[in-house]
C-alpha cells in the first residue's frame, strides 16, 4: 500500500483537466475566473504540501498510472524540486489571473471569456505534466497542448495585431515541436524505450559501447533545439515580443513567467534522466547552449533598450532572462543547473509582477502603452508603481531582491576556471548594466510629473492589490531567504 500523498501529482493534473473542460459550462466569465483561481490555489496548496513532505522525508517517488509496471505503463516521477516548482507556478498563475482581471474583462468579449479559462487550466495541466512525467512521449503531447493553449490566450484579445502575432508564434512553435518529434522518433528507434529510467540505462550502454556518438548527438541536439525554439532561446526569439507584448495582461504574465519555463524544465529533466549529465557534457551540446545563452542575455537587453512600448520592453527583457537560464545550463555543472532552477523561480515571480504592474499603470491611463504617455502614472496608483519599481530593481540585481540572488548564484557557479568563467562573469556584469539602462529610465518616467494633464481612471482594483502584494512578498522572500529554496533544489537535483 503506497502512502496517500503519492496520488497528489496525478490528482493535480486531473483537477486542471476536469476544471478546464467544465469552464464552458460556467454561467459567465466572472464565475469561470473564480473557479480557475480556486483550481490554481488548490493545486498550489497540494503541491506545496507535497514538496514539504518530500523535503522532510528526503524522498522522491515514481507513480504508476493504472498500476501497470515499468516497460508498459505510463509513469510520473516526483521529487521535492518538481513539487516546489509546480506549487510556485500554480500560485503565480492564480495571481496573474486575479491581477489582470479588470483589463481582461475589457479586452475579451463576454461570450468568449469562459473559454479563455479552459486554456488557462490546460496550460497549468501541461506545466504540471511537463514537470512530472516520466514518459517522453507524454511530454510531447503536453508540449503540443501547451502550445495550442498559449496561442489561444495570445489571440484572446482579438485585435489585428495580436492575431498576426499568434500566427507567427504558432508557426515557429510548430517548427520546434517538429524537431522535437523527429528527435523523439530517432531516440525511440535507437533505444526501444520511452520511459526515462529505461532510456537512461540504454543510453548509458550505447555511450559506453561507443559508435553511437553521432546518433546521440543528433538526438540530443534536436531535442534541445526544439525546446529552445519554444522557450525563445536566443536566435529563435523573433515571435516572442509581439506575442507577449500584445496579449492581455494576464496572458503576458503567464506566458512570460510560466509557459517558457515548462519547456526548459522538461529539457533539463531529459538531460538528467535520459542522457545523464555526464553523457550530455561529452556531446558538446552544452557549449552551444552556453553561447546562445550569453548572446541572448546581451542582445535581449539591447533590444529592450530601443523599445518604447512598455509591455514589449518587458517581453524583450524576458529573452535576456531566458538567456541567463540557458547560460546556467550551458555551464554544465550541477551548480550551474541549480542557479538555472533558481532563476526559473525568480523570473516566474518577478516578470508577472512587472507585467501586472505595467498593465495596471496603462489601465489607469485608458490603455496607453508607450512609456512617454505613462509618465506620472505611479503617482496615481502607488501600489502599481511600487510593484514595477521593485520588479525592475530586482531585474537589475539590487541586493535583497531575488534578481540579485539569482545573479549571485550564477556568478558563484561560473567559477569553474578557464574561458567559460570569464565569458560568464563578463556577460553577467554587462547584462546587469544593460538591464539598468532600460529599467531605471522606465522607473523614473512612471514616477516623474507628466508633461500634460491626462484624464485618469480612479477606481480601485482589489484583485491587482492582492496579486501585487503576494508577488512582491515572493520577490523579497526569494531574495532574502533563498537558503531553504536552494536546499530543496539541491536535494531534488541529486535525486534526478
Partner 1 sequence: MQAFLEKAVSLRFEIAAVVLFGIGFMNLLLQNNLIKKIVAFNVMDSSVFLFLASQGYIEGRMAPIVQNGVTDASQYVNPIPAGLVLTGIVVSVSVSAFFLALVQRLYKHYHTVDFDEIMMMAKKKVD
For partner 1, the closer CB: 162 or 301: 162
For partner 1, the closer CB: 185 or 465: 185
Is 96 one of the binding residues for partner 1 (CB under 8 A)? Answer: no
Place of cell 525563445: 232
Query: Between vectors from CA 41 to CA 35 and to CA 46, what angle results, nearest 5°?
Result: 125
Is 21 one of the binding residues for partner 1 (CB under 8 A)? Answer: no
Beta strands in 372-464 (DSSP E): none
| Closest to 312 in 3D by CA, of 378, 370, 376, 389 | 370
Question: What distance in Å separates the CA atoms of residue 264 and residue 130, rounded to the nearest whole number?
Answer: 9
Of 42, 182, 430, 470, which one interacts with partner 1 (CB under 8 A)? 182
Is 178 one of the binding residues for partner 1 (CB under 8 A)? Answer: yes
CA within 13 Å, CB half, 72: 4
Of 41, 53, 65, 167, which one interacts with partner 1 (CB under 8 A)? 167
Is 309 one of the binding residues for partner 1 (CB under 8 A)? Answer: yes
For partner 1, the closer CB: 76 or 170: 170
Whether the CB-CB separation of 31 and 64 falls below 8 Å is answered with no
Stretch that binds partner 1, among 154-162, 259-267, 372-380, 440-448 (CB under 8 A): 154-162
Stretch that binds partner 1, among 149-157, 201-209, 283-291, 315-323 (CB under 8 A): 149-157
Stretch that binds partner 1, among 18-26, 108-116, 145-153, 268-276 (CB under 8 A): 145-153
| Backbone region of residue 247 per phi and psi (left: phi > 0; alpha: psi in -120 to 50; beta: other values) | beta
State in angstroms the smallest separation of the CB of 414 from partner 1: 35
109 DSSP assignment? -
For partner 1, the closer CB: 159 or 494: 159
Is 181 one of the binding residues for partner 1 (CB under 8 A)? Answer: yes
* Phi, psi (rounded to 5 degrees) for 75: -130, 155
Is 18 one of the binding residues for partner 1 (CB under 8 A)? Answer: no
Of 160, 452, 453, 455, which one interacts with partner 1 (CB under 8 A)? 160
Whether the CB-CB separation of 9 and 63 falls below 8 Å is answered with yes
Question: What distance in Å separates the CA atoms of residue 327 and residue 435, rounded to the nearest whole number?
Answer: 17
For partner 1, the closer CB: 51 or 155: 155
Q: Is 209 exposed, middle or buried (0-12, 13-18, 19+ CB in 10 A)?
A: exposed
Is 185 one of the binding residues for partner 1 (CB under 8 A)? Answer: yes
Whether the CB-CB separation of 12 and 78 falls below 8 Å is answered with no
Residues that bind partner 1 (CB under 8 A): 137, 140-141, 144, 147-148, 151-152, 155, 159-161, 163-168, 170-171, 174-175, 178-179, 181-182, 185, 188-189, 194, 242, 245-246, 309, 369
Amino acid at each position: 500500500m503506497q502512502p496517500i500523498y503519492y496520488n497528489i501529482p496525478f490528482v493535480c493534473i486531473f483537477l486542471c483537466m476536469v476544471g478546464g473542460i467544465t469552464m464552458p459550462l460556467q454561467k459567465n466569465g466572472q464565475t469561470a475566473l473564480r473557479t480557475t483561481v480556486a483550481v490554481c490555489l488548490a493545486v498550489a496548496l497540494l503541491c506545496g504540501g507535497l514538496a514539504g513532505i518530500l523535503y522532510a522525508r528526503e524522498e522522491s517517488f515514481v507513480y504508476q498510472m493504472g498500476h501497470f509496471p515499468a516497460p508498459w505503463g505510463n509513469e510520473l516521477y516526483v521529487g521535492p524540486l518538481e513539487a516546489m516548482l509546480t506549487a510556485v507556478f500554480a500560485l503565480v498563475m492564480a495571481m496573474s489571473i486575479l491581477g489582470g482581471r479588470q483589463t481582461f474583462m475589457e479586452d475579451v468579449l463576454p461570450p468568449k471569456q469562459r473559454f479563455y479559462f479552459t486554456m488557462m487550466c490546460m496550460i497549468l495541466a501541461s506545466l504540471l505534466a511537463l514537470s512530472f512525467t516520466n514518459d517522453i512521449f507524454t511530454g510531447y503531447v503536453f508540449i503540443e497542448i501547451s502550445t495550442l493553449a498559449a496561442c489561444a490566450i495570445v489571440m484572446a484579445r482579438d485585435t489585428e495585431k495580436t492575431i498576426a502575432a499568434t500566427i507567427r508564434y504558432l508557426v515557429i512553435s510548430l517548427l520546434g515541436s517538429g524537431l522535437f518529434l523527429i528527435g523523439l522518433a530517432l531516440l525511440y528507434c535507437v533505444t526501444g524505450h520511452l520511459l526515462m529510467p529505461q532510456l537512461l540505462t540504454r543510453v548509458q550502454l550505447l555511450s559506453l559501447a561507443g559508435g553511437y556518438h553521432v546518433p546521440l548527438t543528433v538526438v540530443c541536439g534536436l531535442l534541445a533545439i526544439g525546446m529552445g525554439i519554444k522557450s525563445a532561446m536566443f536566435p529563435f526569439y523573433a515571435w516572442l515580443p509581439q506575442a507577449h507584448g500584445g496579449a492581455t495582461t494576464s496572458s503576458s504574465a503567464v506566458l512570460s513567467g510560466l509557459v517558457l519555463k515548462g519547456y526548459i524544465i522538461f529539457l533539463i529533466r531529459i538531460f538528467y534522466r535520459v542522457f545523464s549529465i555526464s553523457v550530455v557534457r561529452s556531446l558538446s551540446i552544452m557549449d552551444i547552449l552556453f553561447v546562445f545563452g550569453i548572446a541572448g542575455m546581451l542582445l535581449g537587453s539591447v533590444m529592450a533598450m530601443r523599445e518604447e512600448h512598455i509591455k514589449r520592453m518587458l517581453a524583450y527583457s524576458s529573452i535576456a532572462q531566458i538567456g541567463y537560464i540557458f547560460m546556467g545550463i550551458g555551464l554544465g555543472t550541477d551548480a550551474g543547473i541549480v542557479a538555472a532552477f533558481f532563476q526559473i523561480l525568480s523570473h516566474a515571480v518577478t516578470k508577472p509582477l512587472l507585467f501586472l504592474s505595467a498593465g495596471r499603470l496603462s489601465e489607469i491611463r485608458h490603455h496607453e502603452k508607450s512609456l512617454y504617455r505613462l509618465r506620472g502614472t505611479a503617482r496615481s496608483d502607488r501600489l502599481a508603481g511600487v510593484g514595477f519599481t521593485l520588479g525592475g530593481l530586482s531585474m537589475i540585481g539590487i541586493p535583497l531582491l531575488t534578481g540579485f540572488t539569482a545573479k549571485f548564484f550564477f556568478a558563484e557557479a561560473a567559477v569553474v576556471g578557464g574561458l567559460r568563467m570569464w565569458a560568464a562573469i563578463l556577460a553577467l556584469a554587462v547584462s546587469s548594466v544593460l538591464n539598468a539602462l532600460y529599467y531605471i529610465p522606465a522607473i523614473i518616467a512612471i514616477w516623474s510629473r507628466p508633461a500634460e494633464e491626462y484624464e485618469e481612471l480612479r477606481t480601485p482594483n482589489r484583485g491587482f492589490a492582492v496579486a501585487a502584494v503576494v508577488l512582491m512578498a515572493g520577490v523579497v522572500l526569494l531574495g532574502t531567504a533563498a537558503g531553504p529554496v536552494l536546499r530543496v533544489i539541491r536535494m531534488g537535483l541529486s535525486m534526478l
